[in-house]
Amino acid sequence: MNKAKVKRRVGKYEVGRTIGEGTFAKVKFARNAETGEPVALKILDKEKVLKHKMVEQIGREISTMKLIKHPNVIRLYEVMGSKTKIFIVMEFVTGGELFDKIVNHGRMREDEARRYFQQLINAIDYCHSRGVYHRDLKPENLLLDAYGNLKVSDFGFSALSQQVRDDGLLHTSCGTPNYVAPEVLNDRGYDGTTADLWSCGVILFVLLAGYLPFDDSNLMNLYKKISAAEFNCPPWLSFNAMKLITRILDPNPITRTTIPEILEDEWFKKDYMPPVFDEKDDTNFNDVEAVFKDSEEHHVTEKREEQPAAMNAFDLISMSKGLNLANLFDVEQEFKRETRFTSKCPANEIISKIEEAAKPLGFDVHKKNYKMRLENMKAGRKGNLNIATEIFQVAPSLHVVEVRKAKGDTLEFHEFYKKLSTRLDDVVWKTEEDMQEMK
């Protein structure tokens, strides 16, 4: 990896590696050069936003997050714009997704699930009090900080109260099918409060059961199950937990339990500690309009400087949970939406091996320098699965290979990586201790 790599700086932020990708945006790890604080930098292409008429939605997402200042919701610190890009500076959390916790460990004990559910209800209740409805609540959009506290993220589908029509209802169907309320599916309008609450009920079921209450490979059958609230609680749940879930997963939004009623529920109230935080309302929306303007006075400075494509200690730490570098170099690390392994093979050899392993699995391979994009030619549950890989040099004879889901279903990504890793056995660096364990 002797080619030079471009190091970017946007305003006061040093921009690092990509940590997430979407159709219209990339999210990169960055840090405030003045304070050293790590942040997540969401970067949107202005041309794409305008071409696809996304100005209103992006503006709504930014405005929504600026309104919400709650300890269990991802904070938006700052919004900036250049001639071609929009930069959204957000809180960076290191604990991964709640989804990963379920995938890796299965169902939770009731006291652990209760704690997350209490934080979720607190956050959603606060959002609703500010006239904000999330509309895509699911474990993948619930992140965890270094202390294990829940953080609601991804307000891309959120709606503000101003979008409610004259009938007092929202009319845009959105969200992930398994978590969507029946009234959202019937397309006759719905209340954002009760719809979000249904999704919270599905999440609680998943935390306690380890699987979805409504699931079917046939979409029409899935919709029928949701509309009829056709589900069964597993026998290991306590009676009070079952009762609460049943009250939330009521297919009739009028008789469905409410957040004030949940706050008084016997199961919910156990060990309950309401959050204490500063509710100063000093929100300024001037920068939201400014990012879409072409005036030079509103543009942030972007700097690029050439430097070797090496991974320094800052990059290593950002790839691990907190300061625990064992998470980076442990070959058997718990697997999430991204993973990485170390290799003593030359970078070109690693690329060739990944290509050889991916093609028989039905993936097209696109290469550029030391990055690769693998695209499954067969569509899955959420379209074609796309995998992004990148090779970093830690030392002349040691590389870190990152494998990340760029698009598609997370569970399909898990299955893909299992198959890929068995084909890369001779590439992954094994310590002497690993070799002893294999004997």
Q: State the binding site for ATP.
A: 42
Cα angle for residues 368, 369, 373 (degrees, 5° grid): 40
Task: Give catalytic status of residue 191 as yes or no.
Answer: no
3-state secondary structure of 314: helix
Residue whose token pair is 């303007």: 293
Cα distance between residue 42 and residue 23, in whole Å: 12
Q: Please tell me which residue in 100, 125, 136, 145 is annotated as part of the active site.
A: 136
228: its two tokens: 């009829």
With CA atoms as reference, report the closest residue to 112 among 335, 333, 271.
Answer: 271
Cα distance between residue 370 and residue 368, in whole Å: 6
DSSP letters along 36-50, please? --EEEEEEEEHHHHH
Residues in contact with 48: Cβ distance below 8 Å, sequence separation at least 6, in sequence order: 24, 54
What's the number of CA atoms in the CB half-sphere (13 Å) around residue 68? 35
With CA atoms as reference, report the closest residue to 385 among 416, 359, 360.
Answer: 416
The terminus-to-terminus CA distance of the chain in angstroms comes to 34
Instruction: In the chain, count H helices and then E strands.
Output: 16, 16
Binding site listing: 42
DSSP letters along 229-265, please? T-----TTS-HHHHHHHHHHS-S-TTTS--HHHHHT-
Residue 30: burial class (beta carbons within 10 Å; 0-12, 13-18, 19+):
buried
Residue whose token pair is 């970017």: 8
3-state secondary structure of 391: strand
Q: Are 66 and 76 in contact (CB under 8 A)?
A: yes
Residues involved in catalysis: 136
